[in-house]
Structure 1
Amino acid sequence: MLQYSFFSSSHGSPQPAQSIDALADQLSQYLPASQVNNVKRAYFYAEQAHEGQNRRSGEPYVTHPLAVAGILATMRLDAQSLMAALLHDVIEDTAITKPQLEEQFGEAVAELVDGVSKLTRIEFQSKAEQQAENFQKMALAMAKDIRVILVKLADRLHNMRTLGVLPPPKRHRIAKETLEIYAPIAQRLGMHNIRIEFEDLGLQAMYPMRARRIRKAIKTRFGDRKKTIEAIRESLESCLLEEGHRAQVIGREKHLYSIYNKMRNKRKSLKEILDLCAFRIIVDSVDTCYRVLGCVHGLYKPVPGQFKDYIAIPKANGYQSLHTVLFGMEGLPIEIQIRTEEMEEMANNGIAAHWLYKTSDNEPKGNSSHARARQWVQGLLEMQERAGDSLEFIENVKIDLFPDEVYVFTPRGDIMELPAGATAVDFAYAVHSDIGNACVACRINRRLAPLSEALQSGQTVEIITTPGAQPNPAWLQFVVTAKARSGIRHHLKHQRRTEAVGLGERMLERALAGMGEQLEDIPQTLLDQLVEITQSKSLEKLYEQIGIGNRVAYLTAHQLLGLRDEPRDSSGKPQQATRQPMVIRGTEGFLVNFARCCFPIPGDHIVGIVSAEKGVVVHNEKCHNSIELSNKPERMIPLSWADEIDRDFSVELRVELTKQRGIIAVLATRVNGADASIEKISVEDENPKISVIHLVIGVRSRIHLANVLRRIRNIPAVIKVEREKH
């Protein structure tokens, strides 16, 4: 017998129960009475804990956890998940602790509530790094118990349904993170109904005017095509009845966000988008699915290349269905999805479909959707371990959350699912990281092919490996899977690190040799002290820093020898305060630079700041930069001037004088007469009568500078002259 119904794209998902009695009635349809009573006990506990707390709308706060539990009940989730949903804000918003919950409701429920509380504390900021690190926390929580994310998705869904009471900026922020993070997660876990509602509510909150205009335009357009749609309905119904198939036909408009995305991405107007409706045919068996497919293909001509068999090869999230597109009346494309009742349940609720738990150990029974979700979360954790930083991790995850699949075969006939555009290198890493790392060539359908060639569904791919082979950095230009990208980067970083350690050790050996010392002769205790004062985690890490240029080998060698020459106290420990200073002669070249903020000159008390780009930067001890870094001893190095220095050093002067014709020429003559050179001069008007001149001059020492200052002061027009201080 054929059943027929038609739903619009507006949210058709069941609404949660409005009271605990209504929820209990709903739960009694699939849970034993003892478990329903436990859920009711959790509700009354939450009601008491949240007493006196209200939502922004003015309702008692407990209405929110009740609504979240109601959403999970429509997905027929287990009692522990429902109890956690009712209690999910108790740890966060009341004085009740996790041990108290554990005592009342057991360890599993307390862990779930704690996991959801941690996710609730996550605030997705606009800063990319903050958002990325928060997503890492979410991955860890999901790995511990996948039900955590199911409760969190239900929590977010109710918040999205009640966004209207929030101020616009907060509404916009919550909608944005829902579209970017939570909707793709729901999609990845196969939870179609929740994803659809996330997307439509997100669009409504972010772009209310666009949503209203598209909805109005769709309504107007469907009025024009009403007769055509009715005729298609009758045709499908008649065809199925004639063939004797028992089926339920569900017609629907495409949901708002899907239409909006197609208009935006393909730059089309609504009139140019023809496939605004789709029909779902639900039957009793897999065999009937294929029979119904033949029936509808006989009724209307199929669009070439638009048939997809997700029953034989399910999607990564467990989704199964036959998809086909037909040329309907007046050339209107009709999208048809044919599936069984079990597949329909899986398509709508994904991992939450038929969630049954063993009574003994509370572990989920092995079903394909749960296994796939576990595998995905495990992949997230593997990427997290290999990612260099949180931004790289979130980049990989976002690639992984938006797959458009191709299906290829291994030489043994196993099916591998990969994102569209994937290459043989992606395939190699999908098989195993070691195969990806050792990959040198590939055969596609038994012919040698470039590693960068995009794979097509149905191809057989064979990877050729060589022992000792290494990933090529150029692969990063064409791989598309997160696993391949993170695997290549991880290997290259490890390889570069190994090379940097060797290079750094050789550089330190050469620097010590230039000072008449050998690294092999340095006692291990001194090397350990060097690691400590430079705040390196290990000697290997110190060598790596030298090798990649973050530390200067010459300076590190000087620090090392200074430690050897340090005086010791009575217990034999070095006296850090009396470390031997490095002598500055002014002839060190690029290893030593003089700060332009304080212009140190011989005779000043100086200190060195180690810089990865400039080696040692010499500062005046009283310079604000050296004072700011005084709490970072690993970057500071004691310095002293050599007794004999034969070169000029820059210093900045500020000269305040009355305006006179030719006064700058007089000033320059006095400076040159003191055997100093002028490097830079600039004039600044204080008022109509007084000018301030900034001079950068070259002097040999503080004594030489004092002589220059004296000669400048002797100029009658000079009011004041001093060394500039920044």
Structure 2
Amino acid sequence: MIESIKKSAADMQKKRPPKLLKQLLSGLDYLGSDEHTLVQKAYAYSSVAHEHQARKTGEPYIVHPVGVANILSELHLDKEAIAAGLLHDVLEDTVINEDLLLEEFGEEVLSLVDGVSKLDQIEHSDIKHHQAESFRKMMLAMVQDIRVILIKLADRLHNMQTLSALDQTKQIKIAKETLEVYAPIANRLGIFNIKTALEKEGFKYAYPYRHKVLSSALRRKLGNQKRILKKISTRISKNLNKHGIDHTIVAREKDLYSIYTKMKRRHLPLDKIIDVYGLRVLVNNAQDCYQVLGLVHETYKPIIGKFKDYIAIPRVNGYQSIHTSLLGPNGTPIEVQIRTKDMNRVAENGIAAHWKYKASSNKDTSPQIKAREWLATIKEIQGATHPEEFLESIKVDLYPDKIYIFSPTGDIYRLPNKSTCVDFAYAVHTDIGNSCIGAKIDRQQVPLRTVLESGQTVQIITSRYA
């Protein structure tokens, strides 16, 4: 069987590339033509191995691996990652084994395919445990090679784009898992293109009614706003040209799921969300960003309290940009983001934008350093005794507005950010809160007003005379 696959794959490589492969190769123009050979070989083996399989959509199975490889090509990943994207399902679903992959594609591609396959093999009856276990495996895979997680994210995204073929129960389950697990990982790694795409599909299937209502309300709001955006954009551009600043202005629309979460988090109606539509100004260097900010504020009045400088203080996932909100014509609020082209590339592709796979580069940008620091912390957490405990520990990084505190017996309590020892005492039990007289954090005596940090173990000292 293996020999016949090798022969069929070799024959396929001699023929003219099929349309699917041509389309994929046209997106790989950043790779050398000699590097295309490995990708063509991976396509041939994947195509032959999945030959008699079809997807739930009725399409030939090869459409899925090629879809995954296309998403990875948008992140400009190397030839090994693209090949692994094409082969990511062969170990699970076909007769191709590890020995054949090693022989034909080498250790690096085998390691990536094996890493992705291991994430897919986890089957437990207990759903919560199942999710935690797969989450843990993902994190551990990340530490070994970040490309495994990028392939997994691409795999999930392509599956989400074809989710309509499944029944509604499965759609809702997969969509919620996407919103709770995969999108936050993409966000944490700063890959906003994939994060936004996952949230867009996830929201549509997890909450179809809310999606429909919000979508139609937004369409009604859009008509008038587009004209105003054009007017503001032209005026700002004229001012920047006058001062000789090389720039590009693009109109941007906040994605539906972000609007939904903001409305939910802040208990606001849609008409109170001011950054639904906005402008992004791209310039050549950080100095220009601050000059543009001054000129933008000169053109339109800024809204007080709506200014954030993520260039001076980048977000934890490496994102950099200046955000300001302006009062446009007729008092219409418009959000403007100002960043360099380099910052924009990092904002869209995150960790994948500058990632060096072969060796640590001396030119590490801050997103790379931050991502590596995060991956290093995962190594420390991976010793957690139970998958659910690991899931709770790791969510600290994915959901920074909450903190996770351990009791001396190992129970995990989720508290709002900036909680104190007293808040923890009440979270455990009202009686403990009422009778607390002291606290220990990681066995060190501290005042009760001490603000807690994620991952700490807190012991509350009580007295019946309190």
Seen in structure 2, the aligned counterparts of structure 1 residues 123 and 315 have a Cα distance that, compared at 3 Å, is: farther
Question: Contact 1:78–1:356 (CA<8 Å) still a contact in 2?
Answer: no
Seen in structure 2, the aligned counterparts of structure 1 residues 371 and 275 have a Cα distance that, compared at 3 Å, is: closer
More helix by share: 2
- How far apart, in 1, do the equivalents of 2:139 and 2:381 lie? 10
Deviation at 1:225, TM superposition (A): 3.5
Number of paired residues? 412
Seen in structure 2, the aligned counterparts of structure 1 residues 316 and 245 have a Cα distance that, compared at 3 Å, is: same
Deviation at 1:21, TM superposition (A): 1.2
Partner of 2:274: 274
Partner of 1:26: 27
Partner of 2:399: 402
Identity %: 44
- How far apart, in 2, do the equivalents of 1:391 and 1:323 lie? 37
Seen in structure 2, the aligned counterparts of structure 1 residues 229 and 382 have a Cα distance that, compared at 3 Å, is: same
- How far apart, in 1, do the equivalents of 2:446 and 2:54 lie? 56
Q: Counterpart of 1:376 in structure 2: which amino acid?
A: W
Q: Counterpart of 1:49 in structure 2: which amino acid?
A: A
- How far apart, in 2, do the equivalents of 1:315 and 1:232 lie? 28
Seen in structure 2, the aligned counterparts of structure 1 residues 79 and 472 have a Cα distance that, compared at 3 Å, is: farther
Question: Contact 1:72–1:151 (CA<8 Å) still a contact in 2?
Answer: yes
Partner of 2:214: 214
Q: Counterpart of 1:145 in structure 2: which amino acid?
A: D
The two structures have a TM-score, normalised by structure 1, of 0.53
Q: Does 1:75 align with 2:75?
A: yes
Q: Deviations over 1:570-612 (max 9, x none)?
A: xxxxxxxxxxxxxxxxxxxxxxxxxxxxxxxxxxxxxxxxxxx
Q: Secondary structure at the match of 1:19?
A: helix
In the alignment, structure 2 segments of 5+ residues that lack a partner are 1-17, 403-414, 422-437, 460-466
Q: Deviations over 1:306-364 (max 9, x none)?
A: 3222222222212111122222222222211111111111000001114454xxxx335
Partner of 1:378: 376
Higher RCO (C-alpha under 8 Å, 6+ residues apart): 2
Q: Secondary structure at the match of 1:302?
A: strand
What is the root-mean-square deviation in Å for CA atoms of aligned residues?
A: 2.9
Q: Secondary structure at the match of 1:336?
A: strand
Q: Secondary structure at the match of 1:311?
A: coil
In the alignment, structure 1 segments of 5+ residues that lack a partner are 1-16, 406-418, 426-450, 453-467, 493-726
Seen in structure 2, the aligned counterparts of structure 1 residues 469 and 404 have a Cα distance that, compared at 3 Å, is: closer
Q: Does 1:55 align with 2:55?
A: yes
Q: Secondary structure at the match of 1:80?
A: helix
Partner of 2:316: 316
Of the structure 1 ranges 372-381 and 124-133, higher mean CA displacement relative to structure 2 is found in 124-133
Seen in structure 2, the aligned counterparts of structure 1 residues 90 and 364 have a Cα distance that, compared at 3 Å, is: farther
Q: Secondary structure at the match of 1:307?
A: strand
- How far apart, in 2, do the equivalents of 1:139 and 1:275 lie? 33
Partner of 1:35: 35
Deviation at 1:212, TM superposition (A): 1.9
Deviation at 1:211, TM superposition (A): 1.3
Q: Does 1:244 align with 2:217?
A: no
Deviation at 1:478, TM superposition (A): 4.6
Q: Counterpart of 2:389 in structure 1: which amino acid?
A: E
Q: Secondary structure at the match of 2:334?
A: strand
Deviation at 1:105, TM superposition (A): 0.6
Partner of 1:471: 444
- How far apart, in 1, do the equivalents of 2:96 and 2:60 lie? 18
Deviation at 1:403, TM superposition (A): 2.5
Partner of 1:363: 359
- How far apart, in 1, do the equivalents of 2:213 and 2:124 lie? 30
Q: Deviations over 1:452-492 (max 9, x none)?
A: 9xxxxxxxxxxxxxxx99335987995243xx43xx36xx7
Q: Secondary structure at the match of 2:305?
A: coil
Q: Secondary structure at the match of 2:391?
A: helix
What pairs up with 1:388-427 in 2 under 5 angstroms?
389-403=386-400, 421-422=417-418
Partner of 2:427: none
Q: Does 1:166 align with 2:170?
A: no
Question: Contact 1:76–1:355 (CA<8 Å) still a contact in 2?
Answer: no
Of the structure 1 ranges 307-316 and 17-26, higher mean CA displacement relative to structure 2 is found in 17-26
Q: Counterpart of 1:403 in structure 2: which amino acid?
A: P
Seen in structure 2, the aligned counterparts of structure 1 residues 477 and 99 have a Cα distance that, compared at 3 Å, is: farther
Seen in structure 2, the aligned counterparts of structure 1 residues 313 and 124 have a Cα distance that, compared at 3 Å, is: farther
Q: Deviations over 1:41-90 (max 9, x none)?
A: 11101111111111111111111101100111111111110010000001
- How far apart, in 2, do the equivalents of 1:163 and 1:111 lie? 28
Question: Contact 2:354–2:368 (CA<8 Å) still a contact in 1?
Answer: no
Q: Secondary structure at the match of 2:350?
A: helix
Question: Contact 1:124–1:177 (CA<8 Å) still a contact in 2?
Answer: no
Q: Secondary structure at the match of 1:106?
A: helix
Q: Secondary structure at the match of 2:190?
A: coil
Q: Secondary structure at the match of 1:51?
A: coil
Q: Counterpart of 1:168 in structure 2: which amino acid?
A: Q
Q: Counterpart of 1:22 in structure 2: which amino acid?
A: Q
Q: Counterpart of 2:393 in structure 1: which amino acid?
A: N
Question: Contact 1:157–1:198 (CA<8 Å) still a contact in 2?
Answer: yes
What pairs up with 1:137-286 in 2 under 5 angstroms?
137-286=137-286
- How far apart, in 2, do the equivalents of 1:185 and 1:334 lie? 29
Seen in structure 2, the aligned counterparts of structure 1 residues 420 and 168 have a Cα distance that, compared at 3 Å, is: closer
What pairs up with 1:534-683 in 2 under 5 angstroms?
none
- How far apart, in 1, do the equivalents of 2:61 and 2:361 lie? 34
Q: Deviations over 1:643-669 (max 9, x none)?
A: xxxxxxxxxxxxxxxxxxxxxxxxxxx
Partner of 2:407: none
Question: Contact 2:225–2:277 (CA<8 Å) still a contact in 1?
Answer: no
- How far apart, in 2, do the equivalents of 1:334 and 1:70 lie? 34
Partner of 1:562: none
- How far apart, in 1, do the equivalents of 2:123 and 2:271 lie? 40
Of the structure 1 ranges 156-165 and 208-217, higher mean CA displacement relative to structure 2 is found in 208-217
Deviation at 1:404, TM superposition (A): 5.7
- How far apart, in 2, do the equivalents of 1:79 and 1:182 lie? 24
Deviation at 1:371, TM superposition (A): 2.9
Deviation at 1:383, TM superposition (A): 2.1
- How far apart, in 1, do the equivalents of 2:140 and 2:113 lie? 15
